[in-house]
Amino acid sequence: MNSLLKISLSTLALSTLTFAQTTMCFKENHTNLMTLEKVALDGGECNSQYSLTDMKNSGWRVDDIKINNNNYIYILKKGTTSTAFVNTNTNISQEELEKRVLAKLEAKQAQEKKEKEIEEKIMKAQRGQELYENKCQSCHGKKGELEPGLSVAINTLSEEDILELMDGYKRGTYSKGNPYQMRAYATTTTEEDTINIFNYLQSLK
């Protein structure tokens, strides 16, 4: 079962009257609106098996829809008598239920964004390691701790500082260290390369 359902819907039971049913189905991260009604929906009676079209063909109708970015929540009803979602422990309104589901979707998106940022930093550090070992390590030390030619230890610099330093060597406006040697390195090192080197040095701390 989808983790969102485990968190948000595991304690929900559907309270219905004689000839009425209500269910809630959802779809996360769906960007193609052309296929939205044909893709299997998660949760409720849809159960990751039936699309909105399937549900409509089975007599369900869309009573409400909530859209948050590329996430869709459908409230579907079947029959004529009104129904309500009831928590097995506490009464809960449809509005509160929708808020909880949206909150879980947003939390999941935030976590995925954070994990993606961490993965990107790791990838940058991996690319930076190769660059650093080939271009920088012999003069600046294994961790960027050395101060060659009275220059600064580059592992103490911020990302902005190290970019400014490399730009100074490239333009010939920074004279500390070994400016002539560094200018050759600076002109063949892109800004992206420098950022990757910075991320590698940060990963060593």
* Domain map (residue ranges) of the chain: 3-92, 116-203
The residue ranking higher by pLDDT, 82 or 65, is 65
pLDDT band per the 50, 70, 90 thresholds, residue 19: low
* 21 has pLDDT over 90: no
Task: For 85-111, write each residue's pLDDT tens digit.
Answer: 434 444 566 677 677 777 877 887 887
Q: In which order are the strands placed within the sheet that holds 21-27?
A: 21-27, 71-78, 61-68
Structure tokens, 145: 């701790």
- pTM for the full predicted model: 0.48
How high is the mean pLDDT of the chain?
Answer: 80
Q: Do residues 115 and 187 touch, judged by C-beta distance below 8 A?
A: no
Domain 116-203 CATH assignment equals 1.10.760: yes
Lowest mean per-residue pLDDT among 10-19, 145-154, 170-179, 185-194:
10-19
Q: Do residues 205 and 158 touch, judged by C-beta distance below 8 A?
A: no
The closest of 127, 113, 122 to 192, measured between CA atoms, is: 127
Task: For 164-174, write each residue's pLDDT tens digit.
Answer: 999 999 999 98
Lowest mean per-residue pLDDT among 15-29, 61-75, 108-122, 163-177:
15-29
The closest of 133, 131, 168, 127 to 151, measured between CA atoms, is: 168
How crowded is residue 78: how many other Cβ atoms within 10 Å of its Cβ? 18
